Chains A and B, each alone.
Chain A
Amino acid sequence: MIQAEDIWQFLTEVEDPEIPVVNVIEMGIVRDVRYAQDKWVVSITPTYSGCPAMHAIEQDITELLSEKGLEHFEVKTILSPAWTTDWMTNEARMKLEAYGIAPPQKGSSDKALLMGKLRDVKCPRCKSYDTHMISQFGSTACKSLYKCESCLEPFDYFKCI
């Protein structure tokens, strides 16, 4: 008999389609795995309401669980509690930085940013704090575009929500 822990373990194989260095567990997208009535229910939550990766993630999970021999399961999308970058594990943050994306800083919503002040964001390449925001929106809704004044490289910053 498959246990919830086995399923959690299986799900570490599902990568984030936009950021393939992290998996859906590390991203905090999988919220719950439980057996209810006669099937396994895997609950996932969207990072942003319109995140196009969610469809891919749902499909990938469905395919993987079928491959693992599960017959009766459902992948359910839940909204509450709303996803926050605080749920990203430290390991995920380190992987993001190594991948070239500045990880979100701890302390959920970017209050300083919303008040018009900018946070100090570290360049993932040369580690300089001499960086500035080029655009609030980068390659995806969850990232802003920054530029490092020290090594002159542009980079993505995973913004806090």
Chain B
Amino acid sequence: MMGVLEKYILHLADNQLILGQRLAEWCGHGPVLEEDIALSNFALDNIGQATLLYKRVAEIEGAGKSEDDYAFLRSEREYFNFLAMELPNGDYAFTIARQYLFAEFYALYLSELTKSKDTFLAEYAVKSLKEVKYHVQHARDWVLRMGDGTEESHHRIQQAVNHIWNFTGEWFMDFETDIELMQSGVVPTNSKLLPKWQNAVQKTCLEATVVMPVSGWMHSGGRNGKHTEYMGHLLTPMQYLQRAYPNSKW
């Protein structure tokens, strides 16, 4: 049975891996060369962070697994990423809307995580925060450019923000299984991050002339391994090689 801390770190790692996999899909398809490169760089940050986190899970589990075992040899219900990470990229506006809203959340989250009582998590947070600050800056820039751009770009980014909004609630839920970790100062209390996140997003929306959606019913399930219909389709090409040729190496 996996312990609470390992499962929590797995959740952090899965967010990074799945978002990284989605961003990597843009490689060779970006709207302009610079953006293609930027998104590939973010994917690299995400997958690099996932590697660090999976390695740590392997250490705690002590069952001799590698980061690749976690990435490639689990089935859908064993992934604990937020649903927003697995949603298809859509158009560039959707990719940017997700990128912005999540990076804004993750920067706040990591700032809190730097104070973790768990040495590894604190070190991970300090390292990753440096990268995520660049992600926020890049995505925010594009939200402004599209929102305050042409009629078409404004329409697209507004649609994108509306579409993803119901998937952001999950980021600020406090899960019962994590209460102990929260109380002992190992991980932040996500619900407490909500007001700061809303403020930051509101500020960006105002500047971008985008209407910030009103929060209502929210999708959730990723933390419990219950995914959208898109997850299986994401995992299939990602895992194919290791499934078809077990233990193959570069």
Q: With A79-B124, A114-B137, A136-B134 in contact, do A49 and B45 touch (Cβ < 8 Å)?
A: yes
Question: In the complex, what residues of B have CB within 8 A of residue A48's CB?
Answer: 44-45, 48, 131
Inter-chain contact B128/A49, CB cutoff 8 Å: yes
Whether, in the assembled complex, B138 has its beta carbon less than 8 Å from a beta carbon of chain A, the answer is: yes
Assuming A136-B134, A136-B138, is B37 touching A50 (CB within 8 A)?
A: no
Q: Is the CB of B123 within 8 A of A79?
A: yes
Whether the Cβ atoms of A50 and B137 lie closer than 8 Å is no
Within 8 A of A (CB), among B108-137: 119-120, 122-124, 126-128, 130-131, 133-134, 137
Contact (Cβ within 8 A) B123 A82? yes
Flag if B127 contacts A79 (CB, 8 Å).
Answer: yes
B48 interface neighbour in A51, A109, A136, A145, Cβ under 8 Å: A51
User: Cβ of B34 and Cβ of A49 under 8 Å apart?
Assistant: no
A107 CB within 8 Å of chain B = no
Interface residues of A, count at CB 8 A: 25
Evaluate contact between A50 and B127: CB separation under 8 angstroms.
Answer: no
In the complex, which residues of chain B have a beta carbon less than 8 angstroms from the beta carbon of A136?
A: 38, 134, 137-138
Per-position binary interface string of chain B over residues 33-49, scored 1 when its CB falls under 8 Å from any chain A CB and 0 otherwise: 01101100101111111
Tell me whether B49 and A109 are in contact (CB under 8 A).
no
The smallest beta-carbon distance between A148 and chain B, in angstroms, is 17
Cβ of A20 < 8 Å from any Cβ of B?
no
Q: Verify if A126 is at the interface (C-beta below 8 Å from B).
A: no
**Per-residue interface assignment for chain B, residues 79 to 100, with 1 indicating a CB less than 8 Å from any chain A CB and 0 otherwise:** 0000000000000000000000
The listed residue (A109, A116, A134) touching B34 by CB distance below 8 A is A134
Taking a contact as CB atoms under 8 Å apart, the answer to whether A145 and B45 are in contact is: no
* A161 beta carbon closer than 8 Å to chain B: yes
In the complex, the answer to whether B137 meets A113 with C-beta atoms within 8 Å is: yes
Q: Give the Cβ gap from B135 to chain A, nearest Cβ, in Å.
A: 10
A145: nearest chain-B partner, CB-CB = B34
Verify A50–B130 contact, CB threshold 8 A.
Answer: no
Residues of the B chain whose Cβ atoms lie less than 8 Å from the Cβ of A161: 130-131
Task: List B contacts of A81 (CB < 8 A).
Answer: 126
B52 at the interface (CB under 8 A from A): yes
A17 within 8 A of B: no
6 pairs, A vs B, C-beta closer than 8 Å:
A50-B47, A79-B120, A83-B127, A135-B34, A136-B137, A137-B34
Beyond contacts A49-B128, A79-B126, A82-B127: 14 other A-B pairs, Cβ-Cβ < 8 A, are: A46-B127, A50-B43, A50-B46, A50-B47, A50-B51, A79-B124, A80-B126, A80-B127, A114-B133, A136-B138, A137-B34, A138-B37, A141-B41, A145-B34
